[in-house]
A and B are shown apart, each in its own frame.
Chain A
């Protein structure tokens, strides 16, 4: 009996040992391969899985292949994660100081803690080596902290209001020129039992877009920006007015039923199923309305877009957009292959600009010459609008630091749910901004 028990125990100890060595084995492998000889491996983490972002994933693989052919001593090892998982993993890796050599980050508020923790390498050297002129002006600034650029943007997004042409023509409606026209459209649709606007405000930033536009059209391009960066105040009358307008729209039943409990995806499907007439969303949705074969062609042909209308007496300009650069590439400060990683980033940005337009229908942060490429009309229209843009206001939750952003998003939800008065709405913003900036 004793013998038997002991041998059982031995087996167990061996299993434990195997498990433990198994854990450490993977880390050993990666360090040794990157340090040995001239062969280097760049680890690259991105968020375009083949399943959900097919086109982007394809382009990434092509670019990597091309890069490896030109630099035979370099291997690029990919790790692909879905959006939310990516954010969480990046944070965990940052805490244990094991960031990938190259990875993706968002701008401003998201990037700041990483820069403060000395985890991202400044990329001004490659930016100044000829890359700078390629970017649409104003895009790289969103990734700069203290005048150093810590990531290079891949995408640029603006947010038009998409609308269903068929529904509009059925009720003899035209894309609005002024906010009064817009309210008239809402009224007509409500009267006829059509839900005017698809909004999934469980995600909260979706509602923030509406507030930002109203703030921009009423108070002009700088009021909200200044209120957030502390040089102005959130208690500006135009920001209160914008909050009042949001609640006015809610009272008019402008948004789909139960919007505060619906996710953006659920709201989008209401628009795609033609149950709602309008949808305010970023240009990252463009492929769904132009090239995506999985969306029925009849529906894609029905989608048009218009700019957020001007408000009578407001200071805002119709060519001012809410938007901003999407993800950008960073190089890890502690990377063992920093030079190669930077080279890779530069190569990637250059190639991406050309291919993302034609193959993925994404608007890159680099300038595009549309003259010689065959693109869907809706897409060309958006690009043209972008060239005319007088101002692009970065998404509010991205402008703020994470703590203030959460409060902002919660307040947006209560504003839409009519649980907070416009006065309290701005007051609580002012409080949290004062608190987080004081730190």
Chain B
């Protein structure tokens, strides 16, 4: 095996096919998007090269910055919700009765497609027939809010299903990470007299810090480029109150027939994601990798 791996031809044979595919289907489109972002183009007719005009317009575009703010807000909520998932996983990974069943319950939202979840929550939020408002009026609240029509609430109303949707995913990751901690370490800590809180805070969390870091990156980047439920549930409305970067890009490119500008937003989104990932990695860099085997 070692002999084979030192043969350059063999290495190339193995690496080239996927490399070509990745370059052809990921890097080339990225570069093309970068080029389109410098043009004025309705997606059908002639492309007109206009240099950085789209970017200048983007900087002045209030609606764009509003959508950026919404996307970052979603990222903050997602990261905060990670704490909750971590807590749940810590409990589940201990010796809890029915942990298996609970784990399955948490996982089920992940099995539904985004569109199905959107339809589901549209029914929950329906202003007159919805479960939520029925429940609220049952509690005696006379004018329950119009969840998806009120611009001051709509954003939070769509955040809830988004965060709910990913609960299972993160709980599963944390659970798997916690389960992979060698029992001997935990037993040793218990013998030393650590209570469950100390155990979680001083032993378990530091040991899975690498995984936590990964989930933070996943949650932030995932939030920044989030699109599905927003599209299904509110389509960015009412009047942009729930617009996020990706939905704004879609609206500009496919509804306003402004492909050049849409590409500009897409490229900007890419830059934001790259920068944010880099920042997170920089600030969460631990001094040493934890080794426990």
Known: A113-B257, A261-B147, A262-B149. A414 touches B238 (CB 8 A): yes
Is there contact, CB below 8 Å, between B256 and A117? no
Known: A261-B148, A406-B251, A410-B240. A117 touches B235 (CB 8 A): no
Which residues of the other chain, A, contact B251 by a CB distance below 8 angstroms? 406
Is there contact, CB below 8 Å, between B238 and A16? no
Is there contact, CB below 8 Å, between A1 and B1? yes
The listed residue (B43, B45, B151) touching A419 by CB distance below 8 A is B151
Which residues of the other chain, B, contact A223 by a CB distance below 8 angstroms? none
B33 interface contact, C-beta 8 A: no
The listed residue (B44, B146, B154, B235) touching A114 by CB distance below 8 A is B44
Total residue contacts A-B, CB cutoff 8 A? 108
B128 interface contact, C-beta 8 A: yes
Is there contact, CB below 8 Å, between A258 and B146? yes
Is there contact, CB below 8 Å, between A116 and B45? yes
Is there contact, CB below 8 Å, between B125 and A261? yes
A119 interface contact, C-beta 8 A: yes
Query: Measured between C-beta atoms, what is the minimum distance from A118 to chain B in Å?
Result: 8
Is there contact, CB below 8 Å, between A2 and B238? no
The listed residue (A117, A201, A202) touching B44 by CB distance below 8 A is A117
A91 interface contact, C-beta 8 A: yes
Is there contact, CB below 8 Å, between B256 and A403? yes
Which residues of the other chain, B, contact A119 by a CB distance below 8 angstroms? 44
Is there contact, CB below 8 Å, between B43 and A95? yes
A225 interface contact, C-beta 8 A: no
The listed residue (B10, B127, B256, B258) touching A261 by CB distance below 8 A is B127
A12 to B17, CA, bound (A): 9
Which residues of the other chain, B, contact A16 by a CB distance below 8 angstroms? 17
A1 to B255, CA, bound (A): 56
Q: Give the residue name and chain of the B residue nearest to A1 (CB).
A: B1
Is there contact, CB below 8 Å, between B128 and A202? no
A385 interface contact, C-beta 8 A: no
**Contact residues of A between 58 and 111, Cβ < 8 Å to B:** 88, 91, 94-95
Known: A117-B44, A119-B44. A406 touches B127 (CB 8 A): no
Interface centre among A91, A117, A258, A262 (most CB of B within 10 A): A258
B223 interface contact, C-beta 8 A: no
Which residues of the other chain, A, contact B44 by a CB distance below 8 angstroms? 91, 94-95, 113-114, 116-117, 119
Is there contact, CB below 8 Å, between B257 and A258? no
**Contact residues of A between 264 and 281, Cβ < 8 Å to B:** 266, 270, 275
Which residues of the other chain, A, contact B4 by a CB distance below 8 angstroms? 1-2, 5
Is there contact, CB below 8 Å, between A256 and B128? yes
Q: Give the residue name and chain of the A residue nearest to B42 (CB).
A: A113
Which residues of the other chain, B, contact A94 by a CB distance below 8 angstroms? 43-44
A1 to B234, CA, bound (A): 56
Which residues of the other chain, A, contact B255 by a CB distance below 8 angstroms? 402, 406
The listed residue (A257, A406, A410) touching B128 by CB distance below 8 A is A257
Which residues of the other chain, A, contact B258 by a CB distance below 8 angstroms? 402-403
Which residues of the other chain, B, contact A403 by a CB distance below 8 angstroms? 256-258
A334 interface contact, C-beta 8 A: no
Which residues of the other chain, B, contact A413 by a CB distance below 8 angstroms? 237-239
Known: A91-B44, A257-B128, A258-B127. A417 touches B149 (CB 8 A): yes
Per the CB 8 Å criterion, the residue count for chain B at the interface is 36
Is there contact, CB below 8 Å, between B239 and A261? no
Which residues of the other chain, B, contact A256 by a CB distance below 8 angstroms? 127-128
A188 interface contact, C-beta 8 A: no
A117 to B127, CA, bound (A): 44
Which residues of the other chain, B, contact A411 by a CB distance below 8 angstroms? 239
Is there contact, CB below 8 Å, between A417 and B257? no
- Chain B 229-246 per-residue mask, 1 if CB under 8 angstroms from chain A, else 0: 000001101111000000
Which residues of the other chain, A, contact B128 by a CB distance below 8 angstroms? 195, 256-258, 270, 275
A259 interface contact, C-beta 8 A: yes
Q: Give the residue name and chain of the A residue nearest to B243 (CB).
A: A410
Is there contact, CB below 8 Å, between A260 and B45? no
Which residues of the other chain, B, contact A1 by a CB distance below 8 angstroms? 1, 4
Query: Measured between C-beta atoms, what is the minimum distance from A200 to chain B in Å?
Result: 11
B46 interface contact, C-beta 8 A: yes
Which residues of the other chain, B, contact A406 by a CB distance below 8 angstroms? 251, 255-256
**Contact residues of B between 1 and 50, Cβ < 8 Å to A:** 1, 3-4, 10, 13-14, 17, 42-46
Is there contact, CB below 8 Å, between B149 and A402? no
**Contact residues of B between 88 and 127, Cβ < 8 Å to A:** 122, 125-127
Is there contact, CB below 8 Å, between B256 and A202? no
Is there contact, CB below 8 Å, between A402 and B238? no
Is there contact, CB below 8 Å, between A9 and B149? no
A249 interface contact, C-beta 8 A: no
Q: Give the residue name and chain of the A residue nearest to B242 (CB).
A: A261
Query: Measured between C-beta atoms, what is the minimum distance from A255 to chain B in Å?
Result: 10
15 A–B contacts from the bound complex (CB under 8 Å):
A1-B4, A5-B10, A12-B17, A116-B44, A116-B45, A117-B45, A202-B237, A202-B238, A257-B128, A261-B234, A402-B255, A402-B256, A402-B258, A403-B257, A417-B151
Chain A residues engaging chain B, CB cutoff 8 angstroms: 1-2, 5, 9, 12-13, 16, 88, 91, 94-95, 113-114, 116-119, 195, 201-202, 204, 256-262, 266, 270, 275, 402-403, 405-406, 410-411, 413-414, 417, 419
Instruction: Sort A-B residue pairs by CB-CB distance and give the 9 closest, nearest first.
Output: A258-B127, A261-B148, A261-B149, A258-B146, A117-B45, A260-B149, A402-B257, A414-B239, A117-B44
